[in-house]
């Protein structure tokens, strides 16, 4: 039980604390003692303005109604931040190099600094943020009512009375004061609002701690551990069966889009970013923050549904559970948490929107209508500050009015999602602008306009509830009774959740128009320049970019402009700095391209890219964009890409070539060894008969006393040896011809059986002489192969005679058989001789290998027969192999394929 | 003879893939695998899966962010000559 006074005093004390923190933060920043203000932790905490009162109260409400669906709101941002390397890093880098001040400025700068585009995006942002601010006012007003109304018997939360608009109004006033005090100190949006950031960081901690404390109280105080909580409710509460439908995907996507495109998120994540490296920390710390915030949402929702009386507003469970459990201290902390969530969102959103309104709507109008004096120095600066302060008040007033008139329609979550779909309209233009060079202002404009109109018609207007703008009749039957145009079933797309329906139509039409118009239209030079600078931000050096835009101006004109916009002091500093950089101390800087570009960027930081460009254009002459240079930059990046690709291909080719060279080298080396071996073999073979010829002829010459018989014997030996020598040389020549002969043989159809019969006939005599039984095995008649009968006979004879000659067994036999299979004709020549030793098998067909060298026979061969036979079979297209088998003896197989049918 | 990619390139690829993996795991149909009546320690399986994947993603992002050094300035002009880089290739053999 808390009295209204206690609540009021606590709230005021807390607000005073916030003011103090903001004041100290600002003070420290001014005196240059930034310290923790610039730490990645504070940066991450400031990003948590994503979690508004919608999170604080609404997540539990959503969980109580739709189960797990609440998590999608946090999963989307988690994915974006976890993937910071892809998207956020690029956006932040561009914002740093281009001096971007808001999401509208980002879009407008990308598309040729278009003022129209900037105004349009600002308008979308204002329209979609207004209900969001209203939502915060409503949440705080309701929470004040709930916590101060509390009594022991009438449980709060089921307050049926209308929201307290007085509370809402005074809260709005308080936030306006805070935002104006700390949010509009200077006009350069890039100069960080350190005071605000410090207060936001404190609020981020308070809301996290509050929700965790309530969660722990529920799980371990009210219930007894998580299993009790989940046991208390039926599993139906998770809606696990129906949660993962189109709505799950849609809301995940929307929340991912929102965490980039929401004006306040863009403000804290991109504009207020001091150091790109801080993203590195936020990449995991912010998802962790979201994780912790979501951790107790389900238990709190379940506890609320299970323990609190039926009819209690689920959106207030975070507050009503502690009151129900009589823990007033926790209730108060929870109230402050919700208060923090709401105020931090409103403050940052107002700063972001006021910058956008003053830069992109008020300033261009003022310049055109000449509201601001052109002569007085610092005039524009004062004008800007005033317009920003007024914008803040207008935004809060709009929010309050929405709150006042939409009353209590809709749960918190649905209002937030309406805003999400609204800002998501910016996404196609943003992503397209970041990654697609061809995207241009025409596409962006048409896509945004169409998407926004569809969003307004299908989602925003229907959200006002009955008969404010769209009557229930229009909703049900379509405007003027045209069924096809029903806002929530456009073109007959029925049976869809209104949110999914609106998202589908607005975003798909938006994207389609953006792409089609971009393809159909040529970009202006300035668009192409900006497109290149955005898309290739990581590849284009700043120095190259500066030289792209050529223009000239007098230094005096620029100085005048600077004084009007920035004020005397700031202008003086800017020019002194530039002069120093140019090495011209104590003189005016030269207004060269680089200086003008830098000057424009400085102005853009204050008044936005479009306005800055418009103002500079008034004083410069002959603005040209060097298209050649632009094309060169684009080509350069292309070239780098191609070059690295080429490099890869080349190195692969090199690798392949090196491998081939290595193989060739190895082959050559083997051939060389073979050749040496062959030469030494031939010499050896020649030497033996030569030696005997020489020695016998010497004897014949020297010794005259030899008788006729002896002479004849010696002469016969000499003759035999020379015949042997000739045979050796003939064989060598033949082998050489076989191996290297290029002339093809005349292959004609022959009957191989005839050749085999012939060979057997020739060998009969030899077999008889050696007492070897020559057995004819099974024969397969009738085959026709292509070849040369003589050559084939030569192979057969060689094999059969070898088998006969080297057979040393007791009862020697040689069997010759032939057979046909589906592809070839085969002859097998077997014997029961000593066989081929296992270690010889591999080499049996090489030159000078006598497979039977281990046998003691009287007639040593020259060792070329098998090699020649093998070569002949190769030339005939067949093969000669040694059949692996057990048992004694050897078995050679001659195989000749049938001729291929001519096709 | 494949030249191994530098570790930083591998990390960059991983950083690009991480959100895709997360998206795959969080969206149907992958997530519907865990819809059921099963519980672990009293907590429904789907809740454990959701928060478990979430935590793993955060851990991966933290490790990657810590190890991912800034890329070397990508503004390095390509070598002016088109000479094949054969002189450098052997120097980069991974023997070291």
CB contact under 8 A, A82 and B12: no
Q: How does strand A813-820 pair with strand A824-831?
A: antiparallel
Q: Token pair for residue B35?
A: 């819809």
CB contact under 8 A, B78 and A639: yes
**Same-domain pairing of A710 and A592:** no
The number of distinct structural domains making up chain B is 1
Angle at CA A216, nearest 5°, toward A213 and A222?
120
**Same-domain pairing of A146 and A47:** yes
CB contact under 8 A, A230 and B78: no
Per-residue confidence (pLDDT) for residue A212, from 0 to 100: 94
| Number of C-beta neighbours around residue A323 at 10 A | 27
Query: CATH number for the domain including A127?
Result: 1.20.1730.10
3-state class (DSSP) for residue A204:
helix
A82 touches chain B (CB under 8 A): yes
**Same-domain pairing of A621 and A634:** no
Chain A segment 222-251 residues within 8 A of B by beta carbon are: 225-228, 230-231, 235, 238, 240-241, 244-245, 248-249
A chain contacts of residue B53, beta-carbon cutoff 8 Å = none
Nearest beta carbon to residue A79 from set B19, B46, B59: B19
Please report whether residue B89 resides in a domain. Answer: no
Per-residue confidence (pLDDT) for residue B83, from 0 to 100: 38
**Same-domain pairing of A565 and A457:** no
A656 touches chain B (CB under 8 A): no
Please report whether residue A136 resides in a domain. Answer: yes
The beta strand positions in A346-422, using DSSP E, are: none
Phi, psi of A676 (to 5 degrees): -60, -45
Higher pLDDT: A257 or A370? It is A257
Beta-carbon contacts of A461 under 8 Å, excluding residues fewer than 6 positions away, are A469, A470, A487
pLDDT band at A691 (very low <50, low <70, confident <90, very high): confident
Contact in structure between A353 and A125 (CB atoms under 8 Å): yes
Question: Does residue A768 surpass a pLDDT of 50?
Answer: yes
DSSP-derived secondary structure letter, B81: S
Kindly report the length of chain B. Answer: 96
Please report whether residue B78 resides in a domain. Answer: no
Query: CATH number for the domain including A807?
Result: 3.30.565.10
**Same-domain pairing of A604 and A528:** no
Per-residue confidence (pLDDT) for residue A851, from 0 to 100: 54
What's the Rg (C-alpha) of chain A? 48
The number of distinct structural domains making up chain A is 5
- End-of-domain residue from the set A625, A654, A670: A625
Please report whether residue B65 resides in a domain. Answer: yes
pLDDT band at B69 (very low <50, low <70, confident <90, very high): low
CB contact under 8 A, A284 and B27: no
Q: pLDDT over 70 for what percent of chain A? A: 88
CB contact under 8 A, B28 and A280: no
Q: Could you tell me the residue range of the domain that residue A709 belongs to?
A: 630-740
A chain contacts of residue B78, beta-carbon cutoff 8 Å = 639-640, 643
**Same-domain pairing of A615 and A635:** no
The predicted model gives A320-337 an average pLDDT of 89
A177 touches chain B (CB under 8 A): no
The partner residues of A775 in beta bridges, in order of sequence, read A815
- Closest C-alpha among A514, A560, A544, A530 to residue A100: A530
The beta strand positions in A318-462, using DSSP E, are: none
- Closest C-alpha among A597, A595, A606, A616 to residue A567: A606
Nearest beta carbon to residue B50 from set A68, A82, A231: A68
Q: pLDDT over 90 for what percent of chain A? A: 21
Q: Could you tell me the residue range of the domain that residue B28 belongs to?
A: 1-70
Hey, which of A322-331, A855-864, B30-39 has the most confident mean pLDDT? A322-331
Chain B segment 17-56 residues within 8 A of A by beta carbon are: 18-20, 22-23, 26-28, 31-32, 35-37, 39, 41-44, 46-47, 50-51, 54-55
Please report whether residue A419 resides in a domain. Answer: no
**Same-domain pairing of A520 and A641:** no
**Same-domain pairing of A515 and A644:** no
B chain contacts of residue A647, beta-carbon cutoff 8 Å = 85
What is the rounded distance in angstroms from the CA atom of residue A350 to the CA atom of residue A324?
A: 36
What is the rounded distance in angstroms from the CA atom of residue A464 to the CA atom of residue A461?
A: 6
Contact in structure between A41 and A282 (CB atoms under 8 Å): no
What is the rounded distance in angstroms from the CA atom of residue A182 to the CA atom of residue A315?
A: 31
CB contact under 8 A, B57 and A226: no
Nearest beta carbon to residue B42 from set A83, A226, A655: A226
Q: Token pair for residue A143?
A: 């929470």
Please report whether residue A548 resides in a domain. Answer: no
The predicted model gives A564-583 an average pLDDT of 81
Cis peptide bond prior to B29, omega within 30° of 0: yes
What is the rounded distance in angstroms from the CA atom of residue A795 to the CA atom of residue A563?
A: 108
Please report whether residue B40 resides in a domain. Answer: yes
Q: Residue written as tokens 């050096």? A: A541
CA atoms within 13 A on the CB side of A882: 21
**Same-domain pairing of A605 and A637:** no
**Same-domain pairing of A349 and A443:** no
Per-residue confidence (pLDDT) for residue A536, from 0 to 100: 82
**Orientation of helix A379-406 relative to helix A328-357, angle to 10°:** 130
**Same-domain pairing of A218 and A159:** yes
Q: Token pair for residue B63?
A: 């490790």
Q: Token pair for residue B34?
A: 């865990």
Mind telling me how many Å the CA of B12 is from chain A's nearest CA? Answer: 8
**Same-domain pairing of A444 and A357:** no
Mind telling me how many Å the CA of B7 is from chain A's nearest CA? Answer: 16
B75 touches chain A (CB under 8 A): yes
């Amino acid at each position: 039980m808390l009295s209204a006074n206690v609540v009021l005093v606590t709230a005021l004390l807390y607000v005073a604390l916030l003011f103090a923190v903001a004041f100290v933060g600002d003070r420290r920043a001014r005196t240059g003692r930034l310290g923790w203000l610039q730490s990645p932790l504070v940066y991450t905490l400031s990003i948590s303005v994503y979690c508004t009162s919608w999170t604080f109260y609404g997540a539990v409400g959503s969980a109580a109604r739709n189960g797990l669906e609440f998590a999608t709101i946090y999963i989307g941002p988690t994915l974006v931040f976890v993937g910071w390397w892809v998207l956020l890093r690029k956006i932040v880098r561009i914002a740093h190099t281009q001096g971007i001040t808001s999401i509208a400025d980002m879009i407008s700068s990308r598309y040729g600094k278009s003022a129209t585009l900037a105004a349009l995006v600002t308008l979308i942002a204002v329209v979609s943020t207004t209900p969001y601010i209203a939502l915060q006012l409503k949440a705080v007003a309701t929470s004040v009512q709930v916590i101060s109304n509390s009594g022991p018997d009438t449980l709060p939360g089921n307050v049926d009375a209308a929201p307290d608009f007085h509370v809402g109004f005074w809260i709005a006033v308080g936030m306006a004061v805070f935002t104006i005090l700390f949010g509009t100190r200077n006009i350069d949006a890039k100069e960080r609002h350190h005071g605000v950031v410090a207060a936001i960081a404190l609020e981020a901690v308070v809301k996290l701690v509050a929700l965790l404390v309530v969660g722990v109280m529920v799980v371990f105080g009210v219930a007894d551990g998580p299993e009790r909580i989940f046991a208390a409710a039926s599993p139906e509460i998770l809606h696990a069966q129906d949660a993962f439908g189109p709505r799950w995907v849609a809301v995940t996507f929307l929340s991912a889009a929102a965490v980039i495109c929401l004006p306040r998120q863009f403000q804290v994540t991109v504009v207020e970013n001091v150091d790109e490296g801080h993203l590195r920390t936020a990449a995991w710390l912010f998802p962790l923050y979201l994780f912790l915030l979501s951790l107790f949402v389900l238990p709190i929702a379940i506890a609320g549904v299970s323990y609190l009386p039926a009819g209690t507003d689920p959106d207030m469970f975070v507050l009503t559970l502690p009151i129900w459990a009589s823990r007033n201290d926790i209730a108060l902390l929870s109230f402050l948490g919700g208060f923090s969530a709401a105020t931090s969102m409103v403050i940052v959103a107002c700063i972001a929107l006021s910058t956008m309104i003053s830069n992109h709507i008020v300033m261009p109008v003022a310049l055109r209508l000449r509201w601001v004096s052109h002569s007085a120095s610092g005039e524009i600066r004062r004008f800007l500050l005033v317009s920003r302060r007024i914008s803040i008040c207008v935004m809060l007033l709009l929010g309050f009015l929405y709150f006042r008139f939409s009353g209590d329609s809709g749960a918190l979550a649905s209002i937030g999602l309406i805003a999400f779909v609204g800002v998501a309209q910016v996404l196609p233009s943003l992503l397209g602008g970041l990654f697609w060079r061809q995207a241009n202002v025409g596409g962006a404009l048409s896509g945004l306009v169409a998407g926004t109109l569809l969003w307004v018609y299908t989602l925003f207007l229907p959200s006002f509830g009955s008969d404010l703008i769209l009557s229930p009749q229009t909703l049900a039957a379509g405007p003027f009774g045209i069924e096809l145009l029903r806002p929530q079933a456009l073109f007959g797309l029925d049976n869809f959740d209104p949110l999914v329906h609106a998202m589908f139509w607005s975003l798909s039409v938006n994207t389609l128009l953006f792409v089609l118009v971009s393809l159909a239209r040529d970009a202006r030079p300035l668009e192409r320049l900006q497109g290149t600078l955005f898309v290739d931000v990581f590849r284009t050096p700043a120095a190259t970019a500066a030289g792209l835009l050529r223009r000239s101006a007098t230094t005096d004109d620029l100085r005048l402009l600077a004084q009007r916009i920035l004020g005397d002091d700031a202008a003086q500093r800017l020019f002194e700095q530039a002069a120093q950089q140019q090495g011209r101390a104590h003189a005016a800087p030269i207004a060269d391209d680089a200086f003008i570009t830098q000057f424009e960027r400085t102005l853009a930081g204050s008044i936005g890219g479009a306005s800055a460009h418009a103002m500079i254009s008034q004083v410069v002459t002959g603005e040209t964009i060097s298209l050649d240079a632009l094309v060169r930059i684009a080509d350069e990046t292309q070239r780098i890409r191609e070059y690295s690709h080429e490099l890869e291909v080349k190195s692969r080719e090199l690798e392949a070539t090196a491998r081939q060279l290595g193989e060739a080298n190895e082959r050559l080396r083997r051939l060389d060894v073979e050749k040496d071996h062959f030469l030494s073999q031939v010499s050896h073979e020649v030497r033996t008969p030569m030696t005997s010829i020489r020695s016998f002829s010497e004897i014949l010459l020297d010794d005259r006393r030899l008788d006729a018989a002896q002479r004849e014997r010696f002469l016969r030996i000499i003759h035999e040896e020379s015949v042997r020598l000739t045979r050796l040389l003939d064989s060598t020549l033949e082998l050489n011809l076989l191996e290297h002969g290029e002339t093809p043989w005349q292959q004609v159809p022959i009957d191989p059986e005839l050749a085999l019969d012939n060979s057997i006939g020739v060998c009969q005599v030899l077999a008889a002489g050696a007492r070897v039984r020559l057995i004819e095995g099974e024969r397969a008649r009738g085959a026709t192969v292509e070849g040369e009968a003589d050559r084939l006979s030569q192979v057969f004879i060689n094999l059969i005679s070898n088998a006969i000659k080297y057979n040393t067994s007791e009862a020697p036999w040689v069997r010759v058989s032939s057979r046909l299979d589906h592809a070839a004709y085969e002859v097998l020549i077997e014997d029961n001789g000593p066989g081929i030793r296992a270690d010889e098998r591999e080499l049996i067909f090489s030159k000078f290998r006598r497979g039977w060298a281990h046998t003691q026979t009287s007639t040593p061969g020259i060792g070329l027969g098998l090699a020649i036979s093998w070569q002949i079979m190769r030339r005939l297209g067949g093969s000669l192999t040694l059949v692996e088998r057990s048992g004694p003896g050897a078995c050679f197989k001659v195989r000749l394929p049938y001729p291929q049918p001519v096709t | 003879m494949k030249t191994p990619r530098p570790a930083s390139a591998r990390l960059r690829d991983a950083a690009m893939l991480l959100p895709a993996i997360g998206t795959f795991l969080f969206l149907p149909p992958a997530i519907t695998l865990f819809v059921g009546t099963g519980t672990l320690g009293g907590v429904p399986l789907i809740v454990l899966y959701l928060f478990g994947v979430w935590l793993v993603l955060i851990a991966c992002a933290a490790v990657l962010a810590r190890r991912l050094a800034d890329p070397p300035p990508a503004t390095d002009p390509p070598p002016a000559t088109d000479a094949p880089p054969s002189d450098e290739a052997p120097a980069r053999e991974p023997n070291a």
